[in-house]
Structure 1
Amino acid sequence: MNRTWPAFLHWPQGLPEPHFLWPQFLWLLLLLPVLVLLYLGLQRRRKKLAVRYASLSIVREAVGQRVAWRRHVPPLLMLTALAALIVASARPVAVVSLPSNQQTIILAMDVSGSMRATDVEPNRLVAAQNAAKAFLKALPRDVKVGVVAFAGSAQVAQLPTVNRDDLVTAIDRFQLQRATATGNAIVISLATLFPNAGIELQQLSFDRQRALGRPLDQAPPTQNEFIPVPPGSYNSAAIIMLTDGQRTTGVDPVEAAKMAADRGVKVYTVGIGTVDGETIGFEGWSMRVRLDEDTLKAIAQKTAAEYYYAGTAQDLQKVYESLSSRLTLEKKETEVTSLFALLGAALVLLAGGLSMWWFNRLP
């Protein structure tokens, strides 16, 4: 793409510089000052001709002192229309927000025992459930959403669907369990997005044992062949993973993130709870929980997504609002020639309409 900006034009600092596919056409803008000078010359000639009339009233009518400003409006509109059409001929490209083609989102939500902690009111689990349900309301109705609940293991709580009632019911059914398997959550989410790809949890264990040179008792089912794609390039689906603790069991979440990255799926991670860690006790037992931000950031970075920290219920709500906007609108470089052409055509029609209304002639 040719992004040359003509030297005679100076764009204000701090604003993104416009891009043009055919910037050489912008040199035609130099014709505008010439047309302005030509118009001013015609006006002077008109005044000289007007003084030849014998009657002063006729002179005033010719010059049109009472509505003199009206005579200049149609030509000014025509000049602006010409400028817009010249810019359109240069085929401008701008970064605009357009509806995303995101079709499926997987909510992978932590249901480990630490989610009952009350540092996020009323507690972490209820805050996460409320935020997730608000997130569902903000999404377009044609976006499918699936729910994966994970603790010591990961299970599909609801297959991807557009039925929001089924999703809310699945979220309300969460039951707290022990341990945290963040890697399993990513793998199960991928298996849900690609049900025919042969993605299995055993695959990562098999690859790890083979890398370590250990004997392989039983090989997992062979994955369907696929060609890795650039991270974040798969725009039809995304995963949002919310957790309040570090991985205590299951597959390595960074290895699982690589599986997502190879398939172009973004994994947005949301951390909720205490970063420094604290001891939480209930039902006669206690445990030390700590938010592993480094791993969550690594997962997001590897999959070309983002990490968010939510220390309060309000923060969590804002995170989901931000994700809703991000997943339903995406910024793209788009040619906006038609907008400038439409503006030019509208100005031409307006100039012609005003000229006919005021002077019964075209400009």
Structure 2
Amino acid sequence: MIHFAWPWMLLFLPLPWLIRHGLPAAKPRGDALFLPFAARVSAGGATSLPTPSKTRWLLLSLVWLLTVVASTRPQWLGDPLPVPTTGRRLMLAVDVSGSMMTRDMAGNATRLDVVQAVAGDFISHRHGDQVGLILFGTRPYLQAPLTTDLNTVDQFLQQSVIGIAGTQTAIGDAIGLAIKRMRERKDGAKTPGEMVLVLLTDGGNDAGLMDPIAAAKMAADSGLRIYTIGVGAAGQQGILGASGNNALDEDTLKSIAQITKGEYFRATDADALGQVYARIDKMEPSAGREQWYRPHSEWFLWPLALALLFSLPAVVKREKDEQ
């Protein structure tokens, strides 16, 4: 759309008319009179100046109009674009082990289905933050690095598949990967902002190289705050088989949260999980409202060029009128 940056410049449009009709005629001072057109003044007496023709007045008016329009700075505004801002660095670590296939939280939906729906809504409200995603099972994988592109992170979460990282649960390794990816950028420089990890699992640590408590101590030393969420309906723990580790280790999750000055939450159904994420959203508010930028291109050169173009025949017309 077209936009005028300085529309108040249109107030100068009637200025030539006001000067012509509002100011008194200049009075001669002394006897000296400079006449650059003296050759065309008759010897018997001074003649009146030639009256500008209607064509010349039209050209001059058009030149003035185009000059004023150019002074309003006409611009063409493009589509709004989001402006990346840096606030918290928030990483989501989601358990995708075999036990997340259990359907005990919302009808026929698996635990992962519920997490994808609730966590996806949580991600969409983190405007101004850098959000990343880790999927972990037997091994942790960085699915989405820290970014302000929330739609991409949500898309990666929705595309996650149970068992993609193995059927076991490596909580300690997931925390270790989060520490590594959140402390430094690709160029090795430390980044500002608070570091927060939201770790969600339905089992206990039974895989990986790093002990969860040791990993939590490393996270605390790094300034990483961890919120742990245990999911799964009550009475489903204690089953270990093809579906993977389904024995929720609440004591370990509570210890991780306590060591890192975070908090542990228990979610037995979809509503409870939604309340958990809503509470985390209040405890760790996003950096701010989403900001937008509209790219623009200046168009004042066009009316200015036309004004210059029409001024040429106005000068030529003046010469003809004075002959």
The residue aligned with 2:224 is 265
1:325 match: 282
What is aligned with 1:189?
178
1:263–1:275 Cα change, 3 Å:
farther
CA-atom RMSD in angstroms:
2.6
The aligned counterpart of 1:4 is none
C-alpha spacing 1:120/1:198, structure 2 compared with 1 (3 Å): farther
Among residues 115, 131, 134, which one is paired with 2:100 in the alignment? 115
Task: Look up the match of 1:164.
Answer: 150
Cα deviations across residues 226-247 of structure 1 (Å, max 9, x unaligned)? 9xxxxxxx96121100000001
Structure 1 residue 257: deviation in Å? 0.4
Q: Structure 1, residues 169-196: CA drift from partner, whole Å, max 9, x if none?
A: 1101212221000001111111110236
Q: CA deviation at 1:168?
A: 1.4
- Letter matched to residue 120 of structure 2: K
2:271 to 314, 331, 351: 314
Relative contact order higher in (CA < 8 Å, ≥ 6 apart)? 2
Q: Within 1, Cα distance between the matches of 2:143 and 2:265?
A: 23
> C-alpha offsets along residues 215-235 of structure 1, whole Å, 9 cap, x if unaligned?
xxxxxxxxx9x9xxxxxxx96
In structure 1, stretches of 5+ residues that fail to align are 1-100, 200-223, 227-233, 331-363
Corresponding residue to 2:116 among 129, 141, 144: 129
Closer/same/farther in 2, CA of residues 280 and 123 from structure 1, 3 Å limit: farther
Match of 1:176, SS state, is coil
Measured after TM superposition, the shift of residue 279 of structure 1 is 2.7
* TM-score w.r.t. length of structure 2: 0.56
Aligned to 2:133: 147
How far off its partner does 1:112 sit?
0.4
Report if the CA contact (8 A) 1:108-1:148 is conserved. yes
Aligned residue pairs total 194
Q: CA deviation at 1:102?
A: 4.5
Shift in alpha-carbon separation, 1:102–1:280, aligned structure 2, 3 A: same
The answer as to 2:169 corresponding to 1:180 is yes
Deviation at 1:308, TM superposition (A): 0.5
CA spacing shift, 1:153–1:161, aligned 2, 3 Å: same
> Which position in structure 1 is the counterpart of 2:200?
242
Q: Which has the larger radius of gyration?
A: 2
Question: Which of residues 254, 279, 296 in structure 1 aligns to 2:239?
Answer: 279
TM-score, scaled to structure 1 = 0.50
Higher share of residues assigned helix: 1
Report sequence identity in percent. 32
Question: Aligned pair 1:300/2:260, yes or no?
Answer: no
| Structure 2 contact 200–231 (Cα < 8 Å) conserved | yes
**Alpha-carbon distance between aligned partners in 1 of 2:245 and 2:258, rounded to the nearest angstrom:** 27
Farther off after superposition, 257-266 or 267-276: 267-276
